[in-house]
Amino acid sequence: MLKVRSIMTPSPTTIGPNAKIWEAANTMLDHRISGLPVVDDAGRLLGIISESDFLQRGEIHTDARHGLWREFFSSRGRLAEEYARSFGNDVAEVMSSPAATIQPDASVETAAKLMAEKNVKRLPVVEGDEIIGIVTRFDIMAALVRDVTSYHAERADSDIRNALEAELARQKWGDSVNLRVADGVVTLEGRVLDLREKNAMQVAAENTAGVKRVDNRVQVVAPPDMPVPPPGFYL
């Protein structure tokens, strides 16, 4: 089972809680990342600030606007929190806290489910009190694509083998060969009495869809007391 440790980005870029939000924005732009773990001086995770935190800002009039009923039923504390997040200048005032985290030995499937449940795009990877990495939706997608590609590659090898075995079974000369297929490369092994049989096996393998290369190790051997005919002997 694929673990988070194997796909995470180790030693992620972080920022302190007292940094200004525009410092965080510049750091994200400089490193081409969309989120930053926020850590204290001891390296303990306090929260996370992401690109979405810059999309609802009072300065650009994208902060959340509430109707009368929402303001009436929302607690004073909740409204104050939203105001601070929209107009705050320090990372600590804007970050999401506590941040959803994951352990390095958790499965990739667990990370994907947690991201979906929490509706987040990234998870800090923590070991004890230390943040050792970060895993994103992109990392999970890339791992998924690799697994799917690997799976289909195995199926393709199986399909190639089945197709070639079926073709050789239809030929009278095709029953004296053993074959293997790995990553589209066909390996032929065995012994035949006639060079033409070896050549025909080569052609059959080369003409099988999906074959990238043929490693023909078939040996031409002579019966006792009969020399092997030289190439070109048969007309």
DSSP state letter for 3: B
pLDDT tens-place string over residues 65-92 = 544 445 444 555 565 555 556 666 788 8
pTM for the structure as a whole: 0.55
Contact 90, 97 (CB under 8 A): no
pLDDT tens-place string over residues 176-232 = 899 999 989 999 999 999 999 999 999 999 999 889 899 999 999 976 555 556 665
- Distance CA(38)–CA(219), nearest Å, equals 66
Degrees (nearest 5) of the Cα angle 17, 19, 20?
120
- In which element (H, E) is residue 49 found? strand 45-50
pLDDT tens-place string over residues 7-37 = 999 999 999 999 988 888 889 889 988 889 9
Q: Which of 150, 180, 179, 168 is nearest to 207 (CA)?
A: 168
